[in-house]
Amino acid sequence: MEFKHQATVTLAEVAEAAGVGESTVSRVLRNHGSFSGKTRERVMAAVERLGYVPNRIAGTLASTGSRLVAFVIPSLSNIVFPDVLRGASAVLEENRYQAVFSVTDYDPGKEEALAAAMLAWRPAAVMLAGCEHTEGTVKMLRASGCRVVELLDLDGDALDIAVGFSNRAAGRESAAFLLKRGYRRIGYVGHDLNRDTRAGKRFSSFCETLAAHDAPLVAREILPGASSVENGRLGLERLLARTTDLDAVYFSNDDMALGGYFHCLAKGIAIPSKLAIFGYNGLDIGRATPQPLSTIRTPRVATGEIAAQLVVTNAPPQAVDLGFELIEGATA
């Protein structure tokens, strides 16, 4: 089944070849402890000659402290989590940490199973999306004693470290912006909210804010499945078929919003005079459309970077609010 390693060079062989003890080789290789320059030369020469590659599995076991960081993320279908991974991996690589990942498909049960599998690797930290997890996940994570970092959502109690921003605030500010612009008959197009709890939080506080200003949500169209440009397009088409007098639509994210935008372009619906469009995420593509997308830009790469930084420095438990930026754009 798995690969059986063929005659790999071991540290003992390097020690033998260099004519020194094993621990000396270990010290030289990790540049830790003391050894003479001469010894160093001999060891490095032997390493070179034999083509020795240290075995970090063995090293980790012996030192009972790993440099693995485990990511348990909901999805790789859009750029959001790749952005987080990108930010984190840059920092982790600099610090000789190794990133491990698995994908939950927004399924809390799967999150629990995958987190358990991750823990078996004894990672230095487990990074998860958001702060809603099953009881089992929480219990297991707590018991593991490893660092836990919750990403991209600050609306809840952090287990250990949390890095991100408030999704509720994002929903609120989106609503406030549309109201300030004078829109009163507002609709919503979203993807499956039961699974994506962060989108759900944005939506509910969006609605609350509208209601508090006497302009309650007029209509909504929720599509099953993941967010996508095509679903955004389809959602807006359906929403407009049912509701003719909307003046603005809030989308669960930019992918969905771009779909809506394309629908308007295709149907000749004037934006924003006839219909305003507002998204979430602040994807680069939304800045290059003929009319820049009105949206909220989230610090995804920075979230990954900061999270990784806190882990490698073994920072104390804390919640880091990176905030977000409202992009006025030209579609609202």
Partner DNA sequence: ATGAAAGCGCTAACAA
Partner DNA sequence: TTGTTAGCGCTTTCAT
Using CB under 8 A, which residues numbered 87 to 126 contact a copy of itself? 89-90, 93, 96, 98-103, 114, 116-122, 124-125
Name which of 57 and 266 has its Cβ closer to DNA.
57
What is the Cα–Cα distance from 112 to 118, expressed in whole angstroms? 10
Using CB under 8 A, which residues numbered 228 to 257 contact a copy of itself? 228-230, 232-233, 255
Crossing angle of the two packed helices 254-267 and 229-242, in degrees rounded to 10:
60
Name which of 217 and 302 has its Cβ closer to a copy of itself.
302
Question: How many CB atoms sit inside 10 A of residue 94's CB?
Answer: 11
Q: Is the dihedral of CA 96, 102, 106, 111 positive or negative?
A: negative
Task: Tell the smallest beta-carbon distance from residue 303 to a copy of itself (Å).
Answer: 14
Judged by beta carbon distances under 5 to 8 A according to partner kind, the member of DNA, a copy of itself, none in contact with residue 212 is none
Name which of 154 and 307 has its Cβ closer to a copy of itself.
307
What are the residue ranges of helices labelled H in the chain?
A: 11-18, 22-30, 37-50, 56-63, 80-94, 108-119, 135-144, 167-180, 197-212, 229-242, 254-267, 285-288, 300-312
Q: Interface residues with DNA (CB under 7 A)? A: 5, 8, 10-12, 19-24, 26-27, 29-30, 32-36, 38-39, 52, 54-55, 58-59, 61-65
Using CB under 8 A, which residues numbered 174 to 213 contact a copy of itself? none
Name the 3-class secondary structure at 68: strand
**Region of residue 204 (phi > 0: left; psi between -120 and 50: alpha; otherwise: beta):** alpha
Name which of 11 and 131 has its Cβ closer to DNA.
11
238: Cβ contacts below 8 Å, ≥ 6 apart: 221
- What DSSP character marks residue 252? S
Judged by beta carbon distances under 5 to 8 A according to partner kind, the member of a copy of itself, DNA, none in contact with residue 33 is DNA
Task: Tell the smallest beta-carbon distance from residue 27 to DNA (Å).
Answer: 6
Question: Among 1, 34, 38, 224, which residue sits at the site for a copy of itself (rule: CB under 8 A)?
Answer: 1
Name the 3-class secondary structure at 41: helix
Report if residue 149 touches a copy of itself, rule: CB under 8 A: no
Judged by beta carbon distances under 5 to 8 A according to partner kind, the member of DNA, a copy of itself, none in contact with residue 229 is a copy of itself
Report if residue 146 touches a copy of itself, rule: CB under 8 A: yes
Question: Among 41, 266, 317, 318, which residue sits at the site for a copy of itself (rule: CB under 8 A)?
Answer: 266
Question: Among 133, 147, 191, 297, which residue sits at the site for a copy of itself (rule: CB under 8 A)?
Answer: 147
Strand pairing category for 318-321 and 161-164? parallel
For the purposes of burial, counting CB atoms within 10 Å of the CB of 257, is it exposed (0-12), middle (13-18) or buried (19 or more)? buried
Question: Among 10, 134, 144, 204, which residue sits at the site for a copy of itself (rule: CB under 8 A)?
Answer: 144
